[in-house]
Structure 1
């Protein structure tokens, strides 16, 4: 009897360990059983994450923050998975890479691009607070989270289990506020009012990570984010003294992204 209990205990521990160490892959499998297909994709030069979400039944899909250099890779994956790409949605007008939205539109019949109405950029769908992007039985709801730029938005899944935060909230960090209409006070309020009010176990998927981290949670960032756990006054002081270099591609990326990434493409 004791050996049987010990064996069951070992099996339970092994199962728990497997959950921890398989990480995102295990979560992807669980989501697919709920009818949502999900892939996190990476572009190494700008350390940008793109996110592919699709309805398992209808095969309709959305691609968040596509990158010009990885359009062929993304189209190959979409074809392999038998998906119908419906919307290419950007979290903001990026300064460090050119969006792949425009080139994707040239390659995928009927594809529409989407971005915030406050971004100053061109797109087929101009988004504001509360708007929804639907794909099959699933949807993404827009939460306006300005501060890094005026046009930053966060996309939240219908069950509020996942938030795609762009540059507003990074893993243990946040987007800079020293160019493109940046405002530290506005960013602090956006994160606290629009992202930190989501369920604590909501998974946070940022537009970038420079340390190999793939995701976080709302609770983790509320507890451990070294900037956003501070008071507003302390946060503003931190952001005012970052002294970061100018993004290498800003003079090319911003003009291109204002016209859906088709500038001289």
Structure 2
């Protein structure tokens, strides 16, 4: 079920998550599995594109969602969902990826009843298009879709206030951020997105990116506000850093973007 979140409701949820910290299930060390009360979380990895895929589920209702699936691992993910006894209701993307082909379309064939989800501004096909402030519900839990453009126009950060965690896609990485030199990229917009939508979350919120290339699995708002070598700079300094990265042309972009516009089925 998708709903629009009111600002007043968001403020209440934030207050509930700030104290006491134990009730929020704060994690100071990352692990691959979280099981608190009836909440299930699993972090999976693709070694080729260094992409993280996440499964979140309600063990009481058996409803689950999956964030940023990779085509080559769709069968792995579907098998795991079945083994765990979940019903996958949403296969979601944080944005239209350029470094791998999404597994959402394949998962729909492997797990009938699954619906594909992506931001409306992405320009990609999906069963459900999200706008800023929409809620994605699974069992007793929900994700708030927050528009965080800059890497692409359609980038969304999914926030679970009940668990004090957020899935930042390529907008904010661990001690880094997504590149802004292609696919509607804008350094100014990315900087504003991070500072106004992610860095305004409580410091103890755990952040899970779409990728990591150095073996780290998670970070926190407080860590990134203090240690991110790019986003702790002024806007002017940040733009200069992004303009002088001189990164190579993405290897998969010419294949991935056309495929991801049609849910990974091409």
For 1:158 and 1:213, the matched residues in 2 are separated by 23
Matched with 1:209 is: 212
CA contact (8 A) 1:114 1:123 kept: yes
How many pairs does the alignment contain? 240
Matched with 1:147 is: 150
Matched with 1:79 is: 82
C-alpha displacement of 1:109:
1.2
For 1:119 and 1:167, the matched residues in 2 are separated by 13
Q: Does 1:258 align with 2:261?
A: yes
Runs of 4+ aligned structure 1 residues displaced above 2 Å come to none
Matched with 1:246 is: 249
Matched with 1:7 is: none
Matched with 2:57 is: 54
CA contact (8 A) 1:160 1:199 kept: no
Pairwise CA RMSD: 1.2
CA contact (8 A) 1:97 1:253 kept: yes
What TM-score, normalized to structure 2? 0.88
Matched with 1:102 is: 105
Higher helix share: 1
Residue deviations 1:155-182 (CA, integer Å, cap 9, x gap): 0003261100000000000000000000
C-alpha displacement of 1:20:
7.0
Q: Does 1:190 align with 2:231?
A: no
Return the structure number with greater relative CO, CA threshold 8 A, min gap 6.
2
| DSSP 3-state at the match of 1:132 | strand
Structure (1 or 2) with the larger CA radius of gyration = 1
For 2:199 and 2:163, the matched residues in 1 are separated by 12
Q: Does 1:126 align with 2:126?
A: no
C-alpha displacement of 1:44:
0.4
Residue deviations 1:127-166 (CA, integer Å, cap 9, x gap): 0111011000001000100000000000000326110000
For 1:242 and 1:200, the matched residues in 2 are separated by 28
For 1:141 and 1:61, the matched residues in 2 are separated by 15
For 2:97 and 2:44, the matched residues in 1 are separated by 17
Q: Does 1:24 align with 2:31?
A: yes
C-alpha displacement of 1:65:
0.2
In structure 1, runs of 5+ residues without a counterpart are 1-18
| DSSP 3-state at the match of 1:175 | coil
For 1:137 and 1:159, the matched residues in 2 are separated by 10
Q: Does 1:115 align with 2:115?
A: no
What TM-score, normalized to structure 1? 0.88
Residue deviations 1:179-223 (CA, integer Å, cap 9, x gap): 000000000000000000111000010000000000000000000
C-alpha displacement of 1:33:
2.6
C-alpha displacement of 1:49:
0.1
